[in-house]
Amino acid sequence: MSSTQLWTLVFVALTFSFYIFIAYRSRVSDTAGFYIAGGGIPAPANGAAIAADWMSAASFISMAGIIAFSNNGYAGSVFLMGWTGGYVLLALLLAPYLRKFGKYTVPDFVGDRYSEAARLISVVCALVISFVYVAGQMGGVGIVFQRFLGVDRTLGVIIGMVIVFFYAVLGGMKGITWTQVAQYSVLIVAYIIPVFAISAKLTGNPIPYLSFGEILQKLDELQVGLGIDAYTEAFTRTSMVNMVLITAALMFGTAGLPHVIVRFYTAKSVRAARYSALWALFFIAILYTMAPAIGAMSKFNVINSLDGTAVEDTPGWYNTWSDVGLITHNDLNSNGAIDLAGGFGEGTEMIINNDIVVLAAPEIAGLPAPIVGLVAAGGLAAALSTASGLLLVISSSVANDIYYKKVNPQASEAKQLLVGRIAMGAAIVVAGYLGINPPGFVAEVVALAFGLAAASFFPILFLGIFWKKATAAAAAAGMAVGLSVTLLYQLWTLPTFFGNDTILDIPATGIGTIGMILNLLTILIVSQFTTPPTPVMQKVIEDVRYPGRSELVVAHAEGKLSEEELHGRHDH
Amino acid sequence: MDAQQRQEYWRSNLKIMAILLIIWALVSYGAGIVFVEPLNNVSFLGVPLGFWFAQQGSIVTFVILIFVYVKLMDRLDQKYGITEYEQEVHHP
């Protein structure tokens, strides 16, 4: 066993025992604790938990590489702006009001505000989005184990499943939240240390925010010299319209993702929900503002150390990562050296996996073995924290939205909790299976999940709060229109499905914005012709907007309002 | 709060939201995308300004926007006499 592997093992064992200890300390025995941690998490802790929940294996491991290599810099900005800008929408438009509404899940709000049909559509959406997402996380756990410890990928996924099973099933939202706080600390330290070290090594200035300009200048010169478009130049790979469409789909999708929204229900009060959003974005921004820096620095390092290098003279890290297939060199001009004149990717001499940028950064910069181990533990923390949050959404959808609301409304607290735990256990098994045998389309679908969330959830949540006259029929119609336009277009253009040409040059990742606008318009129009919400429901919506105790909202949250008061008589 | 106070409170809330969301759109869609090319002629910390907004500046602004929002809402709540936030109820 190499010293890197030994250090990785030490860090992984340490952090895993830490997570289990926390979960054991915060185990729960009632549904309020299981679903929403009793609504008693302080804002900074809730913010850190949201940040860990939000930043998945993809954010931690892949994002810097996606920006620097797949998108050559500027075009990758859509992810940076999209995945952070959505929190402004959440904080200002959704979080405080949904918290005041006082329920457990997103389908709860949709079902109460509109109708049972709308509840059903949103349960299905929440389940599909969460399963697609969680499969990616389990796969991520397997990959980290495989690359750093040489463990078989299947075994890696199973280890991840056991750990998540232990703390998520035992502790529910309470266990998950406090574990995520610990996981955030691990992942952010694991990100910051290599970034600062590499920045210091490259420019003499350890602060990546200050050295960013210098790196970009060098990188631009290097790329232009090689005949690649400058890294900072706009619209070399994408158009202005596409940038707007994709950024908007990611922003509004972020604000509509059920596993993010549900976290604001765990806040103590409306005020705490606002502060949770602030802390969450603050913690997320620390990593997201550093990702473009590490991306640019790694790209500079890679070009600088590889271009023109003879195949037999490549550095040690190159060999390590080409052995596991993350770097591929095709000697197109058969001169026995690496030529980067064509840039990177298909049709050039060099194909680099995006994950390398973060995973190999410590080695490329020649940092000691413990730091490499720390990065592995950070990647695992990112994957596990996101997986557990998603599993909770799945579990609460099944136990609360389907079992308690539809199958057995008389179920006792203990029974609901049992169903929730069984649902979570089953979800872990399915997620693990999907992680070991990933269907080819998972990676594509994760990127598209945002478009679906934007086109389905955001408009009905937003108008549900800000427009009292939005009707149940309109919401169902809006969701149907938004979802079907988005989904059909995605299937139409995706290579794994139909693979047709795009229409009007709209990318599959940006169609969610169009779907969302159509959804909004549908609700605005259909609401004019259909039965408005009952006076009681309109009063509830009104009361949700103001601070202070409202007896009506409390009565509603406690389930004391009748179906007729909420949704009116159904004379069919 | 009586009916008129409620109306005033909601108006102030909507005004705060509108102003902050306009800034939100200006830094991301404006400075980061639509006006990125002219802004790239200006340099900030050595980074072309448009590119900086697209990759770091917009994110920093987003954090500041939410900070300003929570502080303004605290002040608004206080103005209408809401200083204590009881733990709000949660039920299935």
**In-domain check, residue A316:** no
Average pLDDT (A200-213) is: 88
Identify the residue with better confidence: A86 or A330: A86
Give phi and psi for A329, each to the nearest 5.
-115, 125
Give the percent of chain A with pLDDT over 90: 24
Q: Report helix angle A116-149 to A153-164, nearest 10.
A: 130
- Tokens standing for residue A275: 């502060």
**In-domain check, residue A351:** no
**In-domain check, residue A518:** yes
What mean pLDDT value characterizes chain A?
85
Give phi and psi for A464, each to the nearest 5.
-60, -30
Pairwise CB contact (< 8 Å): B36 & A210: no
pLDDT band at A475 (very low <50, low <70, confident <90, very high): very high
Determine the distance in angstroms separating the CA of A363 from the nearest CA of chain B, rounded to an integer.
25
Please name the residue that has the structure tokens 């040489």.
Answer: A150
CB nearest A271 (choices: B28, B67, B85): B85
- pLDDT tens digits for A419-460? 888 988 898 898 888 888 766 555 566 667 888 889 989 999
pLDDT band at B91 (very low <50, low <70, confident <90, very high): very low
- pLDDT tens digits for A89-107? 999 999 999 888 877 788 8
Give phi and psi for A501, each to the nearest 5.
-65, 155
**In-domain check, residue A290:** yes
Pairwise CB contact (< 8 Å): A81 & B9: no
Which positions in chain B touch A233 (Cβ < 8 Å)?
Answer: 40
Query: In the predicted model, is pLDDT for residue A572 greater than 50?
Result: no
CA distance A555 to A535: 15
pLDDT band at A39 (very low <50, low <70, confident <90, very high): low
**In-domain check, residue A349:** no
Which positions in chain A touch B90 (Cβ < 8 Å)?
Answer: 32, 36, 38-39, 102-104, 265, 557
Please name the residue that has the structure tokens 């400058």.
Answer: A230
User: Which residues span the domain enclosing B68?
Assistant: 3-79
Count of the separate structural domains present in chain A: 1
**Contact present, A131 and A393 (Cβ < 8 Å):** no
**In-domain check, residue A359:** no
CA distance A476 to A523: 9
**In-domain check, residue B89:** no
What pLDDT does residue B89 have?
Answer: 47
Q: How many residues does chain B have?
A: 92
* Region of residue A183 (left: phi > 0; alpha: psi -120 to 50; beta: else): alpha
CA distance A188 to A182: 10
Query: In the predicted model, is pLDDT for residue A542 greater than 90?
Result: no
**In-domain check, residue B86:** no
- Distances in Å between the alpha carbon of A263 and those of A37, A43, A133? 10, 11, 17
CA distance A130 to A173: 16
- pLDDT tens digits for A486-519? 988 888 887 667 777 777 778 888 899 999 999 9
Count of the separate structural domains present in chain B: 1
- Tokens standing for residue B14: 């909507």
CB nearest B88 (choices: A102, A214, A278): A102
**In-domain check, residue A73:** yes
- pLDDT tens digits for A393-410? 888 888 887 888 778 888
Among candidate residues A28, A17, A16, A6, the one with its CA nearest the CA of residue A416: A28
pTM, rounded to two decimals: 0.91
Interchain contact A73–B (C-beta under 8 A)? yes
Window from A7-11, A129-133, A296-300 with minimum mean pLDDT: A129-133
- pLDDT tens digits for B27-65? 999 999 999 999 999 988 889 999 999 999 999 999 999
Please name the residue that has the structure tokens 């929204």.
Answer: A261
Query: In the predicted model, is pLDDT for residue A29 greater than 70?
Result: no
Interchain contact B7–A (C-beta under 8 A)? no
- pLDDT tens digits for A277-317? 999 999 999 999 999 999 999 889 888 888 888 888 888 78
**In-domain check, residue B87:** no
The domain spanning residue A127 has which CATH number? Answer: 1.20.1730.10
**A41, A47, A53, A59 alpha-carbon torsion, rounded to 10°:** -170
CA distance A106 to A97: 12
Average pLDDT (A130-142) is: 79
| ipTM exceeds 0.90, yes or no | yes
Interchain contact A547–B (C-beta under 8 A)? yes
Interchain contact B47–A (C-beta under 8 A)? yes
**Contact present, A332 and A349 (Cβ < 8 Å):** yes
CB atoms within 10 A of CB A159: 18
Give the percent of chain A with pLDDT over 70: 95
Please name the residue that has the structure tokens 């909770």.
Answer: A392
Query: In the predicted model, is pLDDT for residue A51 greater than 90?
Result: yes
- pLDDT tens digits for A223-268? 888 888 888 888 888 889 999 999 999 999 999 888 888 888 778 7
Interface test with A, best of B70, B82, B83, B84 (most A CBs within 10 A): B70
What pLDDT does residue B23 have?
Answer: 97
DSSP code string of A99-136: HHHT-SSHHHHHHHHT-HHHHHHHHHHHHHHHHHHHHH
User: Which residues span the domain enclosing A189?
Assistant: 3-303+365-533
Q: How many residues does chain A have?
A: 572
